A and B are shown apart, each in its own frame.
Chain A
Amino acid sequence: MREARTIVLAGNPNVGKSTVFNALTGLKQHTGNWPGKTVTAARGACSLDGETFQIIDTPGAYSLRAHSAEEEAAMEAVCFSRADAVIVVCDAACLERNLNLLYQVMEITDRTVLCVNLLDEAEKRGVRVDVKALSQALGIPVAGACAREGKGLKELLRAAKRVMDAPPAPRRVQYPNAVERAAAGLAEQLREPLENGMNPRFAALRLMENDGCFRRELAKRMVIHASVEAAIQRARTQTGLNPEALSALLTESVYRAAEEACAAAVRRPKGGEEVQLKWDRKLTGWAGVPVMLLLLALVFFITLKGANWPSAWLAAAFGEAEALLRSGLDALRFPPFWTALLTEGAFRTLGRVIAVMLPPMAIFFPLFTLLEDSGYLPRVAFTLDGMFERCHACGKQALTMCMGCGCNAVGVMGCRIIDSPRERLIALLTNSFIPCNGRFPTLFAMLTLFFAGGGLGGALLSAGLLTGLAALAVGVTLLASRLLSATVLKGVPSSYTLELPPCRRPQFGKVIFRSLLDRTLFVLGRAAAVAAPAGVLIFLLTHVQAGGLTLLSHITAFLDPLGRLMGLDGVILAGFLLGFPANEIVLPMIALAYTAGGALQETADLAALGSLLRAQGWTALTALNLMLFSLFHFPCSTTLLTIRKETGSAKWTAFAFALPTAIGMILCMITNAFAKIL
């Protein structure tokens, strides 16, 4: 049996390409309503009439002239994968711009199919696409589709099979004669070194216009000899244009062809976008800022309130499971120390981390994904970009900060959406300044116990103070970003373009399933992997004695002078160190160290916790410094692991550990010194 034929899917960002991929292959790939979600090419299989095809999905790209990591991956997949067919997915409402990519693909291979997706959405906006006329204008099969509803996909696959069996004759863009002649000459020179791996005319044009990325990829596969170099120069001279002017001419010609094709096949109403525009003006102006804050606050409120009950239920369930485990181990006649190590140490910490992390994440991320799906998030980046520009950073950092509110590890991963490596690193290193779900409860407990008091008035005051803390976190993030870009990450703000896709009704069912799957479980997996060993360590620290004192007591005694300098104490610092696997367990760890109870304490009873802490000499100053240090200290183990993965550098990981810690220590020392003077 021969190998399965491959079909590459290509398309602009936000055209529903991943939805087409999922519908074809049945895979659940997360699709975002903003650029940069698919970073690597995904693979899947689908079959038609008994034949199985391999489908390769590529990241969204506006052009094969790559400008970002995603586009580079897309370019490589389309240009160099030797696919048997390429399906270009387009947004029906934005066909003219989308055809730029299609015309580029048609220069590489005849076996191209156009999928006009989102037909239903376009129709609602009054845009009508005549698929037959379009097919005639382009010379390739065109299939209309509404991938969300699964419509038109079979026809699309049939068309792909048709072009593989009998390649059509695409109507390529004709460039001015001088360019065509020069390209043909160079293509002749390239034919042999390319060894049928690539369309020589396409390669010639890219080399003539000096497409750096394409050249790099090509150089990996063939040696560009001096004779070829000379031929490129000759071809350029022949056109009488420099590479930049030639590039402009090529794109202009492509767009002229796209205009003609659309004139023949697309009917647009005059106006018709007024409603969207009216909302956009409201949502992105000054009035948009309070709307944004309210929306974020609402997301948090739902998350924190909603998580209480399932968290308590999970904690109880894990408690019962622990008892079962213990009696099981006892029945197996495990030594008591080992039984305690496994149950009170490893299992209890693991259960605790899952109980406190899972529910907030399982609520926050689907909510966040709904915002993402609706197209609101790019508008947030748009509205706030000015602030980030002044800090020489990228507006998309606003989005990674929002994600960081849910979980810093996810925020760090989200930094992939930022193209400039310098700005991406800034966003990545400062992400942990934004308090995540795991730190909000700590902050809230401190505010309630030491500043606001209980009752409705107290709750409102706490909420207000919490907002103030969040504002402080944002301020420090911006300041740190500015400082970084003035020192270790020097540079001016890079240029970038941001597409604002039309707002869409989010897909509720699928959204929840997908964000649960790929964000929550991913983070939880990483966290749980660290929690069990950390639990063992904590158990040993609290149970192994040296000189009549537990190891933990030695550590807290050692940390005490530093803690006092920061207006805290050794126990609190030890609590932060022990809370390295998850910020949620910092307060329980502190309570545990004070009571020397030997295992994780429940801190659900706020009043009891308050009297315990006051008995240890805590004041409002202690609570303030604890909150400051909670905001600004080393990221949790999951986040650091993710930073290590994303940067691939131990140096930057160490820096990400040191930067917030230093800032937090300095801030605490300053407030402590001030309080002493006053």
Chain B
Amino acid sequence: MKTLSDISVGEGGRVRGAEGTLSRRLRDLGFTRGAAVECLFAAPGRGMRAYRIRGAVIALRQRDARQVAMEENEHA
């Protein structure tokens, strides 16, 4: 399954849904089905990544980004 952590810097995609301990928080931040998201930049190493979602920039740890499922083969 493709997740938000599979999106590399400069790429985008559409959210399919959020599942896990952070799911409600992520949805409240706008990671709901169909939302366009873009990975903007990344911290050094395997650190956090910043995503543009609904006009805001939200940073997530990569292991948390796995809680957001993405649509396959679709670029926003």
Contact = CB atoms under 8 A, between A and B. Distances in A.
Interface of A: 62-63, 65, 67, 93-97, 100, 244, 247-248, 251-252, 255, 268, 273, 277, 280-281, 284-286, 288-289, 378, 382-386, 389, 395, 493, 495-502
Contact of A382 (B53, B54, B59): B59
Nearest to A254: B32
B5 interface: no
Given A247-B24, A386-B43, A500-B58, A97 B30 contact: yes
Contacts of B20: 495
Nearest to A283: B41
B29 interface: yes
Interface in B10-35: 17-30, 32-35
B61 A389 contact: yes
27 contacts: A62-B25, A62-B29, A65-B28, A67-B24, A93-B55, A96-B54, A96-B55, A248-B33, A251-B28, A277-B40, A284-B41, A289-B44, A382-B59, A385-B43, A386-B48, A495-B20, A495-B21, A495-B61, A495-B63, A495-B64, A497-B22, A497-B58, A497-B59, A498-B58, A499-B57, A499-B58, A501-B57
A277 B39 CA distance: 11
Contact of A96 (B30, B42, B43): B30
A145 B44 CA distance: 38
B44 A286 contact: yes
A500 B57 contact: yes
B68 to A, nearest CB: 11
B32 A248 contact: yes
Given A62-B29, A247-B27, A383 B58 contact: no
A122 to B, nearest CB: 10
B41 to A, nearest CB: 5
Contacts of B45: 386
Of the listed residues B19, B41, B53, B63, the one surrounded by the most CB atoms of chain A closer than 10 A to its CB is B41
A386 B44 contact: yes
Nearest to B41: A281
Contacts of A248: 17-18, 23, 27, 32-33
A67 B64 CA distance: 15
Nearest to B19: A244
B7 interface: no
Contact of B23 (A94, A244, A255, A268): A244
A389 B65 CA distance: 14
Given A382-B48, A498-B48, A65 B43 contact: no
A427 to B, nearest CB: 17
Contacts of A497: 22, 25-26, 29, 58-60, 64
Contacts of A389: 47, 61
Nearest to B21: A495
Contacts of B54: 94, 96-97, 255
3 nearest A-B residue pairs (beta carbon): A386-B47, A63-B28, A251-B27
A284 B32 CA distance: 27
Q: What DSSP secondary structure best describes chain A's contact surface?
A: helix
A496 B50 CA distance: 13
Nearest to B53: A97
Contact of A280 (B34, B40, B53, B67): B40
Contacts of A62: 25, 28-29
A14 B50 CA distance: 17
Interface of B: 17-30, 32-35, 40-48, 50, 52-61, 63-64, 67
B27 to A, nearest CB: 4
Contacts of B40: 277, 280-281
B34 to A, nearest CB: 8
A86 B50 CA distance: 32
B41 A277 contact: yes
B8 to A, nearest CB: 14
A385 B50 CA distance: 12
A276 B32 CA distance: 26
A499 B30 contact: no
A495 B63 CA distance: 8
B55 A280 contact: no
A642 B53 CA distance: 38
A386 B46 contact: yes
A500 B29 CA distance: 13
A384 B45 CA distance: 10
B30 to A, nearest CB: 5
Contact of A252 (B22, B25, B33): B33
B61 A382 contact: no
B22 to A, nearest CB: 4
Contacts of A501: 57
A241 to B, nearest CB: 13
Of the listed residues A94, A100, A284, the one surrounded by the most CB atoms of chain B closer than 10 A to its CB is A284
A467 to B, nearest CB: 20
Contact of A385 (B19, B24, B30, B47): B47
A244 B19 CA distance: 9
B59 A255 contact: no
A580 to B, nearest CB: 39
A162 to B, nearest CB: 29
A65 B23 CA distance: 12
A280 B40 CA distance: 9
Contact of B22 (A100, A281, A495): A495
A386 B43 CA distance: 8
Given A385-B47, A499-B56, A500-B59, 16 more contacts: A63-B28, A65-B28, A100-B28, A244-B19, A248-B27, A251-B28, A252-B34, A284-B41, A285-B42, A285-B44, A382-B48, A383-B43, A385-B48, A495-B21, A497-B25, A497-B26
Nearest to B61: A389
A500 B30 CA distance: 15
A496 B18 CA distance: 14
A291 to B, nearest CB: 12
B59 A97 contact: no
Contact of B30 (A65, A100, A284): A100
A280 B41 contact: yes
B59 A498 contact: yes
Contacts of A100: 28, 30
B56 A97 contact: yes
Contacts of B25: 62-63, 67, 497
A661 to B, nearest CB: 33
Of the listed residues A251, A268, A277, A378, the one surrounded by the most CB atoms of chain B closer than 10 A to its CB is A251
B61 to A, nearest CB: 6
Contact of B55 (A95, A289, A383, A384): A95
Contacts of B56: 94, 97, 499
Contacts of B57: 280, 499-502
Contacts of B18: 248
A96 B35 CA distance: 11
Contacts of A386: 43-48
